[in-house]
């Protein structure tokens, strides 16, 4: 009974411990900037792992999120008093500002965040990070910095791809299955388009990229307890990243819009 009552208290304490250790690790990462140039050569490899190999998933999720938005918008506007061009406009704004960044971030959390946490966590429990240190490497510059920079660069690119396929998916669903003319869809898209919406989506992607990769690096770096510990770190990464993405999503909207 006592444990049930104290569980939320321990959870809150643990949360603040994690936030403190995470901030400490990020400060160390920033402080290690003097040695970053030694490890910049690792960037292309991480950019390929984080970004290029994730493109197919981003295309599929982008495409279908655009299609479903199109179908649902058409369903809501089915009264006949609202012009068909609104479908294109609503799909465009929704995809650019919310759907692409958010859905891509959540997919990337599972695909990229979990993979980073598992990789660094395995290196920790198999003493590979200790080996790096004894070979005079700075593990923070070597393992964490390239991954965070790759995330910050590749996530916005992924979002642009998701935007493109989201709009295409919406176009396909609107014109093929809903009977909306291509002219109406494109007219609505152009009429409602505000460049800031797209920029806002890219700012979000940049923030999500840093958040997801840094959280994954944090949980991976402080993994302990063998294979079970790696599994725990991976799960914690996915949960913490999803929650952070949702919170960041609100904060950025509240601040920037």
Partner 1 sequence: MINISNISISFDDRVIIEDISFSIKKGDKIAIIGQSGVGKSVLLKSIIGLLNPDKGEIFIDEQNINKISFRKLQNLRSKFGMVFQFGALFDSMTVEENIGLALQKLTNCDKLEISDKITVSLKEVNMEGTEGKMPSELSGGMKKRVGIARAIALNPKYMFYDEPTTGLDPIMTDSINRLINNFHKKGEVTSIVVTHEMKTVRDVSERVLMLHDGKIQFNGSTEDLFSSRDPIVMAFLNGDSTYEG
With CA atoms as reference, report the closest residue to 101 among 127, 62, 149: 62
Q: Decide whether 34 or 79 has the Cβ nearer to partner 1.
A: 34
Which x/- pattern, by CB under 8 A, does the window 112-131 give for partner 1? ----------xx--xxx-xx
List, as one string, the DSSP characters of 203-254: HHHHHHHHHHHHHHHHHHHT--SHHHHHHHHHHHHHHHHHHHHHHHHHHHHH
Q: Name the minimum Å distance from CB 157 to partner 1.
A: 24
Burial class of residue 214 (count of CB atoms within 10 Å of its CB; 0-12, 13-18, 19+): buried
Q: Name the minimum Å distance from CB 120 to partner 1.
A: 11
Q: Decide whether 106 or 143 has the Cβ nearer to partner 1.
A: 143
Q: Decide whether 17 or 127 has the Cβ nearer to partner 1.
A: 127
Residues that contact partner 1, how many (by CB under 8 A): 15
Q: Decide whether 32 or 72 has the Cβ nearer to partner 1.
A: 32
Helix, strand, coil in percent for the chain, rounding step 5: 90, 0, 10
- How far is residue 54 from each of residues 93, 109, 229, measured CA to CA in Å? 24, 11, 26
* Binding test (CB under 8 A) with partner 1, winner from 8, 11, 16, 136: 136
With CA atoms as reference, report the closest residue to 109 among 212, 220, 3: 212
Determine if 24 is a binding residue for partner 1 (CB under 8 A). Answer: no
* Binding test (CB under 8 A) with partner 1, winner from 4, 135, 254, 257: 135
Determine if 27 is a binding residue for partner 1 (CB under 8 A). Answer: no
Residues forming contacts to partner 1 in the complex (CB under 8 A) are: 38, 122-123, 126-128, 130-138
């Amino acid at each position: 009974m006592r444990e049930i009552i104290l569980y939320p208290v321990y959870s809150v304490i643990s949360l603040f411990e994690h936030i403190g250790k995470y901030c400490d690790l990020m400060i160390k990462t920033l402080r290690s900037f003097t040695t970053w140039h030694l490890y910049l050569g690792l960037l292309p490899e991480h950019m390929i792992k984080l970004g290029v190999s994730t493109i197919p998933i981003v295309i599929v999720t982008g495409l279908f999120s655009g299609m479903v938005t199109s179908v649902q918008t058409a369903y809501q506007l089915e009264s006949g008093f609202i012009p068909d061009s609104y479908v294109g406009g609503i799909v465009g704004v929704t995809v650019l500002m919310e759907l692409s960044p958010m859905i891509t971030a959540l997919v990337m959390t599972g695909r990229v965040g979990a993979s980073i946490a598992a990789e660094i966590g395995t290196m920790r429990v198999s003493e590979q990070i200790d080996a790096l240190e004894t070979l005079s490497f700075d593990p923070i510059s070597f393992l964490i910095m390239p991954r965070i920079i790759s995330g910050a660069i590749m996530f916005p690119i992924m979002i642009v791809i998701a935007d493109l396929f989201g709009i295409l998916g919406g176009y396909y669903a609107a014109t093929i299955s809903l009977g909306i003319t291509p002219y109406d869809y494109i007219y609505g898209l152009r009429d409602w388009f505000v460049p800031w919406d797209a920029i806002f989506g890219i700012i979000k992607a940049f923030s999500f990229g840093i958040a997801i990769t840094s959280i994954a690096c944090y949980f991976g770096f402080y993994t302990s307890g063998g294979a079970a510990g790696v599994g725990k770190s991976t799960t914690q990464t996915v949960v913490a990243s999803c929650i952070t993405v949702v919170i960041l999503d609100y904060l950025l909207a509240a601040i920037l819009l």
